[in-house]
Amino acid sequence: MKERVLITDKLDPACAQLLRQSGYEVDDETGRSAEQLQDAADGAVGWIVRSGTQITPELINAAPALRVIGRAGVGVDNIDLTEATRRGVVVINAPEGNTVSTAEHACAMMLSLARRIPEANRSMRDGEWDRKRFVGTELYGKTLGIVGVGRVGRNVAERMSGFGMRVLGADPVVSPDVAKESGVELVTVDELVAQADVISLHAPLTSSTTGMFDAELLGKCREGVLIVNCARGGLIDESALFDALESGHVGGAGLDVYSNEPVGESLRALIGRPDVVCTPHIAASTAEAQQKVAVQVTEQVVRGLRGEPVATPVNASAIRLSSRPEVKPFVSLAETLGRIVARLNAPHAIKRVTVCGAGDIPRTAREVLTVGALAGVLGELLDDRVNLVNAEALADEAGLPVHSDSVSTAENFHHFVEVLLDTDGGPRSIRGAMFGDSDARIVALDGYEMELRPAGTLLFYRNVDRPGMLAAVGAVVAEANVNIGAMVLGRKDPGSPALTVMRLDEPLDARELARLGGIEGLEDVRQVNI
């Protein structure tokens, strides 16, 4: 009797065809209710979905024979990874299938803006013949700035280099050598916007990148710059973009993604502008991309069902190891430390990551400390798709050097975990320790000794060590009606600059953070949500 594989979202026919050719029975009915899915799951050995089916713990437990789940795409937030891992079910995704399609769409946006093709097309359809009105600009010899030099960004660079463009890139993780292979010269974001005639966004949406192209950064761009966003809508402050287009400082925008989708009335004025080329989040929507994703995930599912190694596992040995009671607290601590130090380091580029475990950390925990820390660092800089399985592979792809260290003694503690970043803004480090089985604490930051639980909203700032500084900060926080739950002050010597960390009951908004940044004697104000 043939083993059965479920397909419960609409996929390219290549998926079912490949499964049948591999000797499996295919159940590809879509649109089932939760009850119908439970019935169908019983007896299935494999399950392939897109984003429509929510594979809950209940559904996983309704499928006692299930061995592999495949996600045709990148994100796996519709699959309960914890339950799948507990059950020993391998979860696989298809992260590369839409790379070329998205890159080509971004290039098409640039050409459409530069040559004003959509406007000219509309004019012709209206019966006009106005050649003077649609004088465009050549991309040859111009400078392209790519924010986010990952797979898609590098594909864009390679294609637009063929148009004779000089290509700059900004990325906090990718190494200069990896960027150079695609013809990209790495610079800072500020250097990029100051030089680029065209800017294409390919960064993930994180706490560091949300709203990064705000009025201030748009104001630093070259007059008449063209901006293309086929990545995430939240990267651009759309109100600020409208104002910059209105003033003429930004010459045009190509948008495939938006802060709210489907687009509502609040964005009608923006997308209705003649200098905006807009599409409804279709950069990855090509027949070829859909087929590539379907084939990629199906091939991996078949390999997984046969007990062969798979190329794109989302959960595997690192996740299973980290779930052990004696390991989980240390891995969680390492990931939290990595996330915090990466957030504090932004926007500086990271040149090297070093993870150190000291003292009486269990041997099994030491094996995954580096992976945990990397998942935190890259999760903050890239996005939530980073996990314990793919963190090392993503670092390797970016050319980011990663080192592990282990020492037997831990100075004043039984043990500690330390994450150190070598960056273009100088070294950054954070150290943490476990007190008991579940009490994680930061015990040092950039050489400042302290003790604070990394939970909730943490406010970090450096200040001149003089009377009145705490009162000035406290006044702003109090006016925001936010309570301070805990606070630590670290200083190396009396009179030297101090480092203060507050744990707040709720986050401060951007306006209040700006007020703190304006206090004389305060600098490097950062807010991190754990």
Residues tagged active-site: 232, 261, 281
Dihedral sign computed on CA atoms, order 472, 475, 476, 477: positive
Nearest to 292 by CA among 25, 99, 150, 104: 99
Amino acid at the residue 24: Y
Helix and strand tally (H, E) in the chain? 19, 22
Separation between Cα atoms, residue 39 and residue 63, nearest integer Å: 9
Rounded Cα distance, 341 and 346, in Å: 9
**Three-class DSSP category at 212:** coil
Determine contact, residues 381/171, Cβ cutoff 8 Å: no
Cα three-residue angle 506-333-427, rounded to 5 degrees: 90
For residue 354, the one-letter residue type is T
Rounded CA-CA distance 99/103 in Å is 6
Nearest residue to 444 (alpha-carbon basis) of 341, 331, 363, 359: 341
CB distance 322 to 331 below 8 Å? yes
Residue 162 is encoded by which pair of tokens? 């063929």
Cα–Cα distance, 522 to 457 (Å, whole number): 19
Please tell me the distance from the alpha carbon of residue 391 to that of residue 374, in angstroms, as a whole number. 6
Query: Phi, psi (5° rounding) for residue 225?
Result: -60, 145
Tokens for 64, please give them: 């006692």
Burial 18-37 (b: 16+ CB within 10 A, else e): bbeebebebbbeeeeeeeeb
**DSSP strand E in 281-414: where?**
350-359, 402-407
Name the residue among 414, 510, 421, 460 with its Cα closest to residue 211: 510
Handedness of CA 151, 156, 157, 162 (dihedral sign): positive
Beta strands in 4-140 (DSSP E): 4-7, 25-27, 44-49, 68-71, 90-93
Bridge partners (DSSP) listed for residue 352: 422
The dihedral formed by the CA atoms of 282, 375, 345 and 95, expressed in degrees to the nearest 10: -20
What's the CA gap between 494 and 464, in Å, rounded?
11
Q: Which two tokens stand for residue 265?
A: 């009335």
